[in-house]
Amino acid sequence: MSKKNLPHIPLYIGDWEKDCNILSCSAEGAWFRIVRKLFTKGKQSSIKMPTKSLQNLWSMSELEMHNVLEEFKHNDICEVSVDEAFVEITCRRYLKENKLSDIRSKARLGKQNNNKSYSKHLNNLNKNSQNADNDNDNDNDNDNKVVFSYDTDTEIYPTFTDFFDLYDKKKYKHKSEIAWNTLSYDEKVKAVEYIPAYIEATPQKRFRLDPLNFIENKGWENEIIKNDNDKKNKGYSTSFKQRIIKKVAAK
């Protein structure tokens, strides 16, 4: 099974209570969302996000977000790095576990290589040169197949998974990911920050663009013209209105 999208997350209640019982409920909930996101990305150690995206993840104002980050730092919950545009959060437990896993993997690989070298030496003593050459080729092929299971690099939000899960219309995933990878970083951020308003304006998924079309047509730039606090006064693009009319007429 893939290390990503694991079916459950281990939660050690004793450790969680010890670490988080001094946090406010909002800070504890925010920390759980970070841990959950890191875990679903293969127990990734760190995540780096624009401050606006972190506000969206936590459903908080900018002031509330900074208050939570201060709680994290004051109570030594995690490593927090903040600049003008980004916030990077590092989970020490996952960082430690990933380093330990890497050490064990290298130790197993070293032991495996030592065993191979010894076996190879015995084979060379008992086989003719042709068979020995074949064994060397096989050993080299096997060595090239060694793969480490964890990728502990920091992944910058938003990823395609972040976009696809938030958009919540599961169609053309593979093609959508290809199109997503052609976007600039700024376009990805604008797209993800725009989705909540677009979903609110199109609560029925059948009226919502397919994710592939949303990406290719840069829907965050032209789908909704106006969306103010008065929900009775929302403006929609001409293309959006035409799609609704076609859907209704087709019934």
Give the integer Cα–Cα distance in Å for 39 and 31: 12
CATH 1.10.10.10 residue ranges for the chain: 13-94
Which residues are 79's β-sheet partners?
90
Integer Cα distance of 39 and 45 in angstroms: 9
Q: Which two tokens stand for residue 100?
A: 């330990």
pLDDT of residue 245: 56
d(CA 64, CA 81): 17
User: Which of 244, 164, 178, 155 minimizes the C-alpha distance to 208?
Assistant: 244
Residue 171 has a pLDDT of 85
Q: How far apart are CA 188 and CA 26, in angstroms?
A: 27
Residue 127: its pLDDT value, please? 60
pTM beyond 0.95, yes or no: no
φ, ψ of residue 42 to 5 degrees: the values are 85, 35
CATH assignment, 13-94: 1.10.10.10
Give the pLDDT score at 249.
Answer: 59
Place of tokens 């376009």: 187
pLDDT at residue number 65: 92
Beta bridge partners of 89: 47, 80
Q: What is the pLDDT of residue 250?
A: 60
Distance CA 240, CA 237 (A): 5
What is the C-alpha R_g of the chain?
A: 25
Q: Which pairs with CB-CB distance under 8 Å and at least 24 residues apart come from 14-22?
A: 19/77, 20/77, 22/75
**Which stretches of 48-184 are DSSP H helices?**
51-58, 62-74, 92-126, 129-143, 160-167, 173-180
| Three-class secondary structure of residue 11 per DSSP | coil
Q: What is the mean pLDDT of each run of 10 residues along the chain (251 residues)?
A: 60 78 91 88 85 90 92 90 88 82 70 60 56 48 40 65 87 90 89 87 86 90 56 50 57 54
